Chain A
Amino acid sequence: MSARRIFARPARLAAIAPYLWLLLFFLVPFGFVLKISLSQTAIAQPPYTPLFDLGGGWTEIRSAFAALSLDNFKLLVSDDLYVLSYVRSLYVAVASTFMLLLIGYPIAYGMARLPRRWQAVAMVLVIVPFWTSFLIRIYAWINILQHDGLLNQILLALRLVPSPVVWLSTDSAMYLGIVYSYLPFMILPLYATLARMEPAIEEAAADLGAAPWQVFWLVTFPLSLPGVAAGALLCFIPIIGEFVIPDLLAGSNALMIGQTLWLEFFTNKDWPVASATAIVLLIVLLVPLLLYERLQRRQLEEAR
């Protein structure tokens, strides 16, 4: 037995309450999603037929199993609407993660180069928007991008465009919104790895004859890859399921999967199809989620 173990016994007891909470409010609900994704749609309240009633006894359960249907999943595969929105979500997530990396890296690099005292200030400045309401930040862009908004006013005043440009309800506006909202998520992990790096390592590379771009490409960038991975996953995963940004900024001709799910649930009131959509989305996310979980655990282990 060691000192750590003396401490470990009471510490483990602390897990009981959060463990039970998460089982009840995180794990069990997924069971319900799965169950309802396999049941039939009904025009009722709630709008689906209960799968089985345990009060009904054995025959009831058997008939319920017979009624289990993969119809909702078949619908997802056969209907272009769903397939297209999954593909679009993946595409948007990959593209915007790439843009975030391109924009976030120089900012994080600039932060890591500042003198210590200013680094702390820059860090706070990047974190503050992260605390500020997501919805309000998107709304701020609607203000700017609308037909007679500030952007068009400036462009017209400078005579760069003959008439107001349509910004809202376009993919450009959506990408702008995504990059704007997720930028702190990309910058912070990148900054964390870049700031931890010994300045002497870059100096050693320069001392051994590497030009500045070689120092960056051969030393700095490879060493920052864990931060790149963390930042990319931290953005990629939630962007796939994003609802608010595409709903407010993008056009309605092509939907992301989060919008489709929302639409099925709130507008079409088709809970089984919405649940099936969620299950498929979860499967799509499984690999990046597991990657992220591994990364997270390794980082915490390193911090010890």
Chain B
Amino acid sequence: MARRRVSSFNIASLALGLAFLYLPIVILVIYSFNASRLVTVWGGWSLRWYAELFNDDAMIEAAWMSLRVAGASATIATVLGTLAAVALSRGERFRGRTLFSGMLYAPLVMPEVITGLSLLLLFVALNAERGFWTVTIAHTTLTMCFVAVVVQSRLASLDRSLEEAAMDLGCDPARAFLAVTLPLIAPAIAAGWMLAFTISLDDLVIASFTTGPGSATLPIRIYSEVRLGVKPEINAISTLIVGFIAVIIVVASLASKLSSAQGENAAPL
């Protein structure tokens, strides 16, 4: 096989690019252990701000709300997104397919202000009480397309003759899907769930529109603090979130390693 030469320009641009991506987060993490109240003055290592964080009931409540919303919406979105991916990649042509795929993929790039506003207007029109469920529904709508993309690309790369072999060996289409297709796309479905979870955990704009009074999510809480300026507690909570997401990514990459050990390409993302 031909080997490409890696030039020093290639290495330099890659190293600089990665440094650019990571340095700010590393600095943030370091500052979260700063003992000084003045964010910019180094006052030695301390866990002081983490301790204060745990006394901040509003912050903890917001974090709990965010985790619940993320868990519920990621689960619903995974079910719906997987169904949508199956319909699109195995359903061939059907009536309304173009509208369906258009609606499915539009939220991927739709400005969040529009999605948020439109959903809020719907909830107001339906006279729905805004809070946990409205945010969950909004996040499900936002994240199911990410799940669908991940699952659909896995389905597209799956060898169709595997399903034919299952049918040849006595499975009806539904059995063939459950016995062969589903186990093979399971890592992609898991990756889709985790992606949906982190996107929901991260969202500020749509949650701001669709939540009600007294049920702020973590990003809403952080945002209102950040607008007032840099605070050491925010460094601490940010570090916790980054750490939490890092754990999720490790689990995700382990899952995809597990799937690549099964001889198939790892799920994307």
Contact pick for A135, options B24, B101, B102, B204, CB 8 Å = B204
Contact pick for A29, options B27, B121, B157, B222, CB 8 Å = B121
B65 at the interface (CB under 8 A from A): no
Contact pick for B17, options A9, A22, A183, CB 8 Å = A183
Interface string of B226-269 (1 = CB under 8 A from A): 11011000110010011001101100010000000000000001
Check A135 against B223 for contact (C-beta < 8 Å).
Answer: yes
Report B-chain residues with C-beta under 8 Å of the C-beta of A128. 246, 249
CA distance in complex: A27, B88 (Å): 19
For chains A and B in complex, what number of residue pairs have CB atoms within 8 angstroms? 290
Output the nearest chain B residue to A33 by Cβ-Cβ distance: B118
CA distance in complex: A132, B202 (Å): 8
Q: Chain B CB within 10 Å — which of A12, A136, A153 has the most?
A: A136
Interface string of B26-58 (1 = CB under 8 A from A): 011001000000111000000000000000000
Report A-chain residues with C-beta under 8 Å of the C-beta of B198. 131, 133
A66 at the interface (CB under 8 A from B): no
Q: Tell whether A133 pairs with B92 under 8 Å between CB atoms, given A258-B113, A278-B114, A285-B111.
A: no
B60 at the interface (CB under 8 A from A): no
Chain A interface size range: 35 or more
7 contacts between A and B (CB under 8 A): A7-B177, A15-B84, A25-B122, A26-B103, A131-B195, A131-B245, A133-B219
- Please report A residues at the B interface, Cβ cutoff 8 Å: 3-15, 17-19, 21-23, 25-30, 32-33, 36, 46, 103-104, 106-107, 109-111, 113-115, 122, 124-129, 131-137, 139-144, 146, 148-150, 153, 180, 183-184, 187, 199-200, 202-203, 233-234, 237-238, 240-244, 248, 258, 261-262, 265-266, 271, 274-275, 278, 281-282, 285, 289, 292-293, 296-297, 300, 303-304
- Please report B residues at the A interface, Cβ cutoff 8 Å: 2-7, 9-14, 17-18, 20-22, 24-25, 27-28, 31, 38-40, 79-81, 83-84, 86-92, 94, 96, 100-107, 109-114, 117-119, 121-122, 124-125, 137-138, 140-141, 144, 148, 152-153, 156-157, 160, 163-164, 167, 173-174, 176-177, 195, 198, 201-202, 204-205, 208-209, 219, 222-223, 226-227, 229-230, 234-235, 238, 241-242, 245-246, 248-249, 253, 269
